[in-house]
Structure 1
Amino acid sequence: MAPIADSRQQFDEIPTVVGIFSAFGLVFSVSLFAWICCQRKSSKSNKTPPYKFVHVLKGVDIYPENLNSKKKFGADDKSEAKNKSAMPKNSLHLDLEKRDLNGNFPKTTTKMQSSPDLENSSPKHFAERKKDSVSPDSLKSITSLSSEDKQDKLGTLFFSLEYNFEKKAFVVNIKEARGLPAMDEQSMTSDPYIKMTILPEKKHKVKTRVLRKTLDPAFDETFTFYGIPYSQIQDLTLHFMVLSFDRFSRDDVIGEVLIPLAGIELSEGRLLMDREIIKRNVRKSSGRGELLVSLCYQSTTNTLTVVVLKARHLPKSDVSGLSDPYVKVNLYHAKKRISKKKTHVKKCTPNAVFNELFVFDIPCEGLDDISIEFLVLDSDRGSRNEVIGRLTLGSSAEGTGGEHWKEICEYPRRQIAKWHMLCDG
Structure 2
Amino acid sequence: MFGGATAKGDKLSGSVMTMYSGDFGNVEVQGTMQFSINYVQRLREFHIFVAECRDLAAVDPKRGRSDPYVKSYLVPDKANLGKRKTSVKKKTLNPTFNEILRYRVRMEYLRTQTLILAVWHHDTFGRNSFLGEVDVDLSKWDFDHTQMNYLALKARTTPTLAPSNGRGEMRLAIRFLPQITHSEGVTKDGPNTGEIHIWVKDCKNLPLIRATIDPYVKCFVLPDTSRKSRQKTRVLRRTADPVFNHTMVYDGIRDADLTEACVELTVWDRDRLASNMLGGLRLSAGTGRSYGAEVEWMDSTPYEVALWERMMATPNEWVEDVLHLRMVNSAKTAFK
TM-score with structure 2 setting the length: 0.38
Greater fraction of residues in strand: 2
Larger radius of gyration: 1
Structure number with the bigger relative contact order (C-alpha 8 A, sep ≥ 6) is: 2
TM-score with structure 1 setting the length: 0.31
